[in-house]
Amino acid sequence: MKLYYFSEMPHHEFPDEEGDKYPSLRLEFPNRFFDREKAAANYQRYLTEYEFADQAGFDGLMINEHHSTPSCVNVGVNMTAAILARTTRRAKILLLGNILPIEDNPVRMAEQLAMADLISGGRVLSGFVRGVGVETWWSNTNPVHNRERFEECHDLILKCWTEPGPFRWEGRHYHFRHVNPWCLPLQKPHPPIWIPGTASPETAVWAGRRGYTYVPFLVPSEIARELFDYYRQGAAEVGRTVTAENLGFLICAVTAETKAKALEAGRHFVWRMGPTLRAPTEYFAPVGMRSRAGAQFALRARPRSLATLSYQELLDGQFIVAGTPDEVIDRFSRIQRELGVGHLLLEAQESRMDHPTTMRSIELMGAKVIPAVAAL
Partner 1 sequence: MRPREETISVGGVGVHTWIGGQGDALLVLHGAGGNRGWTRWLAQVAERFTVWAPTHPGFGRSGDADWMDGIDDLARFHLWFIDAAGLGRPHLVGHSIGGWTAAEMATMSPGSIDRLVLVAPVGLKPEKGEILDVFYYSPPQLLTMTVHDPKTVPEWDELYGRAPTPAEVEIATRNREMAARLTWKPYMHNPRLAHFLPRVTNPTLIVWGREDRVVPVECGEQYRRLLPNADLTVLERCGHLPPVEQPEIFARLVLDFLGGHNRR
41, 238, 260, 287: which one binds partner 1 (CB under 8 A): 287
Least distance (Å) between residue 255 CB and partner 1:
41
Q: How many residues bind partner 1 (CB under 8 A)?
A: 14
What order do you get walking across the sheet with 193-197 strand by strand? 213-216, 193-197, 124-129, 92-99, 60-63, 2-7, 343-349, 248-255, 320-323
189 binds partner 1 (CB under 8 A): no
Task: Name which of 287 and 374 has its Cβ closer to partner 1.
Answer: 287
By CB under 8 A, which span of 57-65, 208-216, 275-283, 297-305 interacts with partner 1? 275-283
By CB under 8 A, which span of 43-51, 62-70, 137-145, 251-259 interacts with partner 1? 137-145
Task: Name which of 68 and 318 has its Cβ closer to partner 1.
Answer: 68
Task: Name which of 98 and 146 has its Cβ closer to partner 1.
Answer: 146
Least distance (Å) between residue 341 CB and partner 1:
35
Least distance (Å) between residue 103 CB and partner 1:
15
Do 259 and 225 form a contact (C-beta atoms < 8 A)? no
293 binds partner 1 (CB under 8 A): no
By CB under 8 A, which span of 35-43, 135-143, 157-165, 185-193 interacts with partner 1? 135-143
260, amino acid identity: A
20, 222, 257, 282: which one binds partner 1 (CB under 8 A): 282
Least distance (Å) between residue 101 CB and partner 1:
13
Contact map string, positions 201 to 240, toward partner 1, x by CB under 8 A: ----------------------------------------
By CB under 8 A, which span of 7-15, 73-81, 280-288, 365-373 interacts with partner 1? 280-288
281 binds partner 1 (CB under 8 A): yes
294 binds partner 1 (CB under 8 A): no
142 binds partner 1 (CB under 8 A): yes
60, amino acid identity: G
286 binds partner 1 (CB under 8 A): yes
Least distance (Å) between residue 133 CB and partner 1:
10
170 binds partner 1 (CB under 8 A): no
By CB under 8 A, which span of 44-52, 116-124, 149-157, 276-284 interacts with partner 1? 276-284
140 binds partner 1 (CB under 8 A): yes
Neighbours of 312 (CB within 10 A): 10
86, 288, 296, 310: which one binds partner 1 (CB under 8 A): 288
The CA distance from 223 to 235, in Å, is 18
Do 26 and 71 form a contact (C-beta atoms < 8 A)? yes
HSE-up (13 A, CA, CB side) for residue 307? 11
144 binds partner 1 (CB under 8 A): yes
Q: Which residues bind to partner 1, rule: CB under 8 A?
A: 137, 140-144, 280-283, 286-288, 292
